[in-house]
Amino acid sequence: MSSGEKYVAAAYAVVFATVLVWVALIAVKLVRLERETAELAELARRPRAAQTADDG
Amino acid sequence: MALALALVFFVAPEDADQGISQKIFYFHVPLALTAYACFATAAWKALRLLWTGEERYDLESYTAVHQGTIYGAMTLLTGSIWAKASWGRWWVWSEDQLVLFLVLFLFYCAYFMLRFSLEPGPSRARISAVYALFGVALIPVSFLAIRLSKNFIHPVVFTRDGPQMTGTMFAAFCVAWAAVLLLAALMYRVELLGKRLDLHLRELREALGAS
């Protein structure tokens, strides 16, 4: 591989790596949002479950 | 993106002067133009916020600045690699185009420092909007610097006589630019959705009285 080819590969690798890091960060955020949504859904269900138990 | 890469590496001819290192041009310039587009979008959203007072424009402007900064960082990195390949140096301080782009990039980096040093609310939204609007004035200065500069190390490809390249080179450049713009638009949408979802979840958490 010539030095010119190495620089071209490096430049394209920078773009690829940046997009990859961004995708990874978004994936991490998505996992956190999914977990928080599940927690909130559980929290919203709790009072209703308690009320059903009281009625019964 | 795949089509752009195929055109760049298999269809567009090698530059007679710079050789293979000229292939960096096909993504370096679209990245820079996309960064300008992101900053211009941020300024437009900021103007809408100041004009209408609608809160959603604050998040949209912030996301656009964030995207612009990512693309600006990629422009600086790919440009630096291209400079090393072509001029033998990673950076040339005497080049107005390079220095002005760095100034533009640092200006928008400072946007985050300003934004996160203020309490969230309408006041922060307005101050951030005014800052984003000021930054857009640097775009034409940065863009035209290469034409106003007396030092012509940085290549001038687009002149008044049109693009100084072959038809296939120009086609590869246009496809690469469209691909980068599409990628930026997609990243903007996904990031904005994530931020909105985050905001709604926080509101829901407060409404449910969770810690």
The least confident of B25-29, B131-135, B150-154, B203-207 is B150-154
Give domain status of residue B7, yes or no.
no
How do residues B159-188 score in pLDDT, each as one tens digit?
666 677 778 888 999 999 999 999 999 999
Reported ipTM: 0.79
The pLDDT of residue B136 is above 80: yes
The pLDDT of residue A18 is above 90: yes
Which DSSP state fits B20?
G
Q: For residues B173 and B182, give the distance between their C-alpha atoms in angstroms, rounded to a whole number.
A: 14
Q: Letter for the amino acid at B26?
A: Y
Exposure of A17 in the CB half-sphere (CA atoms within 13 A): 10
Which tokens hold the place of B104? 């533009």
Q: Which helix (H) or strand (E) holds B143?
A: helix B138-148
The pLDDT of residue B146 is above 80: no
From residue A10, alpha-carbon distances to A2, B5, B77 in Å are 12, 15, 10
Write the residue in A14, A33, A40 that is nearest to B81 by C-beta.
A14
- Establish if A1 touches chain B: CB-CB under 8 angstroms: no
Contacts of residue B176, defined as CB under 8 A and 6 or more positions apart, other chains included, come to B4, B7, B8, B26, B27, B30
Amino acid B81: pLDDT: 92
- Average pLDDT estimate for B147-153: 59
Q: Do A36 and B19 touch (CB under 8 A)?
A: no
Amino acid B142: pLDDT: 72
Q: Select from A3, A5, A14, A28 the residue whose CB has the most chain B CBs within 10 Å, as the one to mutate to test that interface.
A: A14
- Average pLDDT estimate for B135-151: 71
Contacts of residue B144, defined as CB under 8 A and 6 or more positions apart, other chains included, come to none
The torsion defined by the Cα of B179, B185, B187 and B188, in degrees rounded to 10, comes to 160
Does residue B158 or residue B75 have the better pLDDT?
B75
- Average pLDDT estimate for B16-28: 85
From residue B92, alpha-carbon distances to B70, B98, B136, B152 in Å are 22, 7, 24, 12
Q: For residues B188 and B182, give the distance between their C-alpha atoms in angstroms, rounded to a whole number.
A: 10
- Establish if A39 touches chain B: CB-CB under 8 angstroms: yes
Amino acid B27: pLDDT: 92
Give domain status of residue B54, yes or no.
yes
What total of structural domains would you count in chain B? 1
From residue A42, alpha-carbon distances to A45, A52, B98, B197 in Å are 5, 15, 53, 18
Give domain status of residue B5, yes or no.
no
Does residue A42 or residue B67 have the better pLDDT?
B67
Amino acid B159: pLDDT: 67
Give domain status of residue B17, yes or no.
no
- Establish if A18 touches chain B: CB-CB under 8 angstroms: yes
Give domain status of residue B13, yes or no.
no
Which tokens hold the place of B121? 């609310």
Give domain status of residue B10, yes or no.
no
Domain extent for B103: 23-208
Which residue is closest to A38 within chain B, CA to CA?
A: B201
In chain B, % of residues over pLDDT 70: 90
Q: Any idea how long chain A is? A: 56
- Average pLDDT estimate for B116-139: 89
Give domain status of residue B80, yes or no.
yes
From residue B168, alpha-carbon distances to B8, B21, B40, B46 in Å are 9, 17, 29, 38
Set of chain A residues whose Cβ sits within 8 Å of the Cβ of B198: 29, 33
Record the pTM.
0.85
Does residue A13 or residue B18 have the better pLDDT?
A13
